Chains A and B, each alone.
Chain A
Amino acid sequence: MSPMPQSRGGKISPPSNLYTAILAVAFGVVLATAAYVTFACQTCYGTIFGMP
Chain B
Amino acid sequence: MSTLTKVLIVLLTVFSIFLCGIVVTYVANAENQRERADNLQRNIQSAKASQAAAVEEMETAKKAVEALKAELNAQITDLDAKNKELIAQMDDVKRQNTVLMAESQQQRASATMATELANKQTEMFKAAQTQLSSLQADQSNRGKELDETNQMLLERMAVIAQLEDKVKRLTEENQEVENRLNQYLQQYGRIAAKAPTTVAPRTAVRPASAAPAGQTRTIALNGQVTAVDMKNKLAEISIGAAAGVRQEMKFHITRGDRWVADMLILEVGPDKAVGIVDLTQQGMQPQAGDTVATNL
Does B279 have its Cβ within 8 Å of any Cβ on chain A?
Answer: no
Q: Contact between B20 and A23 (Cβ–Cβ < 8 Å)? A: no
Closest B residue to A32 using CB positions: B20
Interface residues of A in 3-52 (CB under 8 A from B): 3, 16, 19, 22-23, 25-26, 29-30, 32-33, 36-37, 40, 44-46, 52
B27–A29 touching, CB < 8 Å = no
B 90-128 to A, binary, CB cutoff 8 A, 1 in contact else 0: 000000000000000000000000000000000000000
Specify which chain A residues have a CB less than 8 angstroms from the CB of B1 in the assembled complex: 1, 3, 16, 19
Contact B34 A19 (CB under 8 A): no
Given contact pairs A1-B2, A33-B20, A40-B27, A26 touches B34 in the complex (Cβ within 8 A): no
- Residues of B participating in the A interface, judged by any CB pair closer than 8 Å: 1-2, 5-6, 9-10, 12-13, 16-17, 19-20, 23-24, 27-28, 32-35
Contact between A22 and B23 (Cβ–Cβ < 8 Å)? no
**Is the contact region of chain A dominated by helix, strand, or loop, or is it mixed?**
helix
Give the interface centre of B13, B17, B32, B35 by most chain A CB atoms within 10 Å. Answer: B13
User: Is there an interface contact between A26 and B13, defined as CB atoms closer than 8 Å?
Assistant: yes
- Does B13 lie within 8 Å of A23, measured CB to CB? yes
Contact A44 B13 (CB under 8 A): no
Selected A-B contacts with CB under 8 Å, 5 pairs: A1-B5, A16-B1, A19-B1, A33-B23, A36-B27
Instruction: Specify which of B20, B28, B34, B35 is in contact with A29 (CB 8 Å cutoff).
Output: B20
- Partner of A33 from B2, B5, B12, B24 at Cβ < 8 Å: B24
Which A residues are within 8 Å of any B CB, using their own CB? 1, 3, 16, 19, 22-23, 25-26, 29-30, 32-33, 36-37, 40, 44-46, 52
Distance in angstroms from A30 CB to nearest chain B CB is 5
Please measure, in the bound complex, the distance between the C-alpha atom of A32 and the C-alpha atom of B34, giving whole angstroms.
24
What CA separation (Å) do A32 and B20 show in the bound complex? 9
Chain B residues near A30: list those with CB within 8 A. Answer: 16, 20
A46–B35 Cα distance when bound, in Å, is 12
Docked Cα-Cα span, A36 to B34, in Å, equals 18
Q: How far is the CA of A9 from the CA of B108 in the complex (A)?
A: 163
**Residues of chain B with a CB closer than 8 A to A40's CB:** 27-28
Closest 6 CB pairs of A and B: A33-B20, A26-B13, A26-B16, A19-B9, A22-B13, A29-B20
A34 to chain B, nearest CB (A): 9
B34 touches A52 (CB 8 A): yes
Shortest Cβ gap from A24 to chain B (Å): 10
Report the bound CA distance from A16 to B3 in whole Å.
Answer: 13
- B42 vs chain A, min Cβ distance (A): 16
CA distance A5 to B25 in the complex (A): 43
CA distance A47 to B131 in the complex (A): 143
Residue from B12, B16, B33, B35 having most chain A Cβ neighbours under 10 A: B16
Neighbouring A residues of B16 by C-beta, 8 Å: 26, 29-30
Q: Which residue of A lies closest to B13 (CB)?
A: A26
Please, which residues of chain B bring their CB within 8 A of the CB of A22? Answer: 9-10, 13
Given contacts A23-B13, A29-B16, 16 further A-B contacts (CB under 8 A): A19-B1, A22-B9, A22-B10, A23-B12, A25-B17, A30-B16, A33-B20, A36-B27, A37-B23, A40-B27, A40-B28, A44-B32, A44-B34, A45-B34, A46-B34, A52-B34
